[in-house]
A = this chain, B = another copy of it.
Amino acid sequence: MQSQNISDIIEKYLKSILADAEHVEIRRSEIADLFNVVPSQINYVIKTRFTIQNGYLVESKRGGGGYIRIEKVNLLDDADVLDTLIQVIGDSITQRDAYAVVQSLYEDGVLNRREAQLILVATDRNTLGVDDHDLENSLRARIIIGILNHLRYES
């Protein structure tokens, strides 16, 4: 029942490789063939599911012998993680990216499950309930950054 769309399946496939390895390196057309989609769909999957907010770094090369390489990075490795995250968020963030950020913080133990849920609820589209999207995204950014800044003084 789960993940009926191909993008989700490709995402899972790539993540299953990343579960065992430091990074994946693919040939775009090969993966596209494997799942019977057009090559640009691979870009779509990467763009929507392997963002820096999700903790992934992507690099690629065109031309002969080209590739796409996805690496899982630990955003919390270096001392000023919070600064990094705050920069990444900027003054606006979509719900999807916010989910990714909070997920990363949870995976890295900065937040426990309950706290992560609270933040997601507080920044949920329906919770905020504003019709202006720019306002919604900027509110979400302010709330998350406010919380991140608070976490800094707590620990």
Contacts and interface: CB of A to CB of B under 8 A. Distances in A.
A6 B119 CA distance: 38
Contact of A118 (B7, B25, B126, B147): B147
A115 interface: yes
Contacts of A119: 118, 122
Interface of A: 1-8, 25, 63-65, 67, 113-115, 117-119, 121-124, 126-130, 139, 142-143, 146-147, 149-150, 154-155
21 contacts: A1-B25, A3-B65, A6-B65, A7-B64, A113-B155, A114-B115, A114-B155, A117-B155, A118-B119, A118-B147, A118-B150, A119-B122, A121-B146, A121-B149, A122-B122, A122-B123, A122-B143, A126-B146, A127-B142, A128-B139, A143-B143
Contacts of A142: 127-129
Nearest to A151: B118
A146 B124 contact: yes
Contacts of A149: 121
